A = this chain, B = another copy of it.
């Protein structure tokens, strides 16, 4: 496994990689969720490239950019063991040199939930992903369903800007008690960690309601809110039952709905989601 830093180095190393190439973009501090993307890429592609970059432009001024957990040595060991060919670990001077001023904006699907709470977040995500695509020029790029809105935003960008690649979305990976894996889980204190299982529990309840015929989005939201209200440590930021592509809130669910939420435990903000009307082996 080769590890490179500058854009020139990664371009040169990429040229030497044979066949269909899969890219797994990450912010490091890897867990089994990330590694599930690498494994999928390894199955589907002749060459696998991972990037590790905590992208400053997707953090708001009062968010956890400086505190975001980092452990590059451990990350490289895990990527090597999982079969990555090339790892790109750019520095900020490579990604955003002096005078940097270009941003990619997806204008509609960024306006709701995560984008509404974090106004410049998706501008940072789409910009860095466009840069990664242009430098690596992968045939396939792997993203986790954990960040459901991010998936739809990037899907829209790929389509609108005509990136010539296939996006592969991999299922959420969960702890045995149901908590979705996230690098931010390390922020949780013991009692918060126990309480955090309420996210997946609320999603399971939503799925059961839907499977038993409930189609009122408002009813599903309310039952989920009730579930959260029983957990003192949980502070709900939003609970959404939305169209899976347009991300607009639904009144009535016809065939499918993205159920997603953001919940604070102390200062730690967790997100989770499921798509009603679609199998979700991680919850059913």
Contact = CB atoms under 8 A, between A and B. Distances in A.
Interface of A: 7, 11, 99-109, 126-127, 130-131, 134-135, 137, 156-157, 160-164
Contacts of A127: 161
A99 B152 CA distance: 13
A102 B160 contact: yes
A269 to B, nearest CB: 26
Contact of A160 (B100, B108, B156, B163): B100
A161 B105 contact: no
Total copies of the chain: 2
A101 B245 CA distance: 13
20 contacts: A11-B164, A99-B156, A100-B160, A101-B106, A101-B108, A101-B160, A102-B104, A102-B105, A102-B106, A102-B156, A102-B161, A103-B104, A103-B105, A103-B107, A104-B105, A127-B161, A131-B161, A131-B162, A134-B161, A134-B162
Q: SS class of chain A's interface: helix, strand, loop or mixed?
A: mixed
Q: Which has the most chain B C-beta neighbours within 10 Å: A101, A107, A137, A156?
A: A101
Contacts of A107: 101-103
A100 B100 CA distance: 26
**Closest 8 CB pairs between A and B?**
A102-B160, A134-B162, A101-B108, A101-B107, A135-B162, A102-B106, A131-B162, A102-B157
Contacts of A7: 162
